[in-house]
Structure 1
Amino acid sequence: MISEYFNASQVQAAEQLIIAISPSDECVDRHLQMLRETELDDDEAEEAEGEPSQLLWIIKDIIDWETGFYVDWNDTESFVECIGELAESRGVTLSFGVEDPLAEEFLDEVDVPELMLRAHAELAAQGLVLWSWDTQGDAYGGWISRPEAAPVMATVAEVLGLEIREGNESF
């Protein structure tokens, strides 16, 4: 159980994040159950000890491509595909300002931060916010929520000791 590795406020922040970014009650229930039932092996438990930010890595694995994205720094195609699916699950579509955002010519001309900026603008126009978290590596991660989830993002960042920004300010 995840509560064996993290304190109550950290688990509560993780649960609030899952609730804030999930497009449906079914998704919330499934992801919360997966989180609560997470067991860590000895190495993972050692990494988690005293490092609340490790909880976000667990969440990343639970939500990946369903309510969150995590892509390599140069994987523009995966970003477009994943964020497109996340947007669709919320009933919106993204064009990234082009006719075919998966066209090779387009993907070769942009990078993930530029795509995040475009997606953030399109989502904002449709009443949603794209968020990004500091992976402290050569990858980009994040999710979509409603604007009123901003206080949840601030709490999660504070409690888990990490940095979360809107997608127009990528890391």
Structure 2
Amino acid sequence: MSSSTATQQDSPAIPAAIERLIAVIAAQPALAQAHRSAYAEAATEEDEEGALWTLKEAIDWQSGFFVDWKDSESFVQCLQQLAQGWGASLSFGVEDALDEDFLDEHDVPELMQRAHAELAAQGLTLWNWDTEGDCYAGWITRSDSAATVQQCSELLGVEIREGSEPF
């Protein structure tokens, strides 16, 4: 574990930042409570990768996405499910976003940009964070949560951007 990660994990600001993120990424209060419990359980284990990775495990496919760089189908499926949780619809600008030809023509960054624009029109923001690898991860919040997400990004020492700027 790097010394910067150890410092981050030891900081009392980290649990507060995770709590604030959970509050803005969970579409319903009951889901936020479930995420808090899952995070607390997972955080007691040895965590060499950092708090955001533990959060990813606690929210995956319920309030967040994590997909391989070439898995556009899973990205579309997960984002459509997450959008529904927020009472939004997500078509990616086509009649059938799961059409094989459409998926073959668009990679995850392109789909992320489409989803970001479509969600913005519905008062939501799609976020992604730097996994430092060949995967994409993130979540959806209400558009008025941008300042909270950016503050948490700084506290966690992880770059988080709107989906209009995929990593």
Q: TM-score, normalised by structure 2?
A: 0.91
Equivalent position SS for 2:140:
strand
Paired residue type of 1:101? A
Aligned-pair identity in percent equals 51
| 1:7 CA displacement | 2.7
Write out aligned runs for 1:1-171 (5 A).
6-38=10-42, 39-41=44-46, 44=47, 47=48, 54-171=50-167
Structure 1 residues 101-158: Cα deviation after superposition (integer angstroms, max 9, x where no partner): 0000000000000000000010000000000100000000000001111111111111
Partners in 2 of 1:155 and 1:10 — Cα distance? 11
- What amino acid maps onto 1:56 in structure 2? L
Deviations 1:27-58 (A, max 9, x none): 011111222232214xx3xx25xxxxx10000
1:37 partner amino acid: E
Coordinate RMSD, CA, aligned: 1.1
SS in 2 for 1:136: coil
Unpaired segments of 5 or more residues in structure 2?
1-8
Aligned residues: 158
Alpha-carbon distance in structure 1 between the residues aligned to 2:10 and 2:126: 27
Counterpart Cα distance in 1 of 2:123 and 2:160: 19
Aligned-pair CA distance for 1:6? 3.7
1:37 aligned counterpart, secondary structure: helix
- The answer for unaligned runs of 5 or more in structure 1 is 49-53
> For the residues of structure 1 that align with 2:11 and 2:144, how far apart are their CA atoms?
26
> Alpha-carbon deviations, 1:62-99, whole Å to 9, x = none?
00000000000000000000000000011111111111
Matched AA of 2:154: E
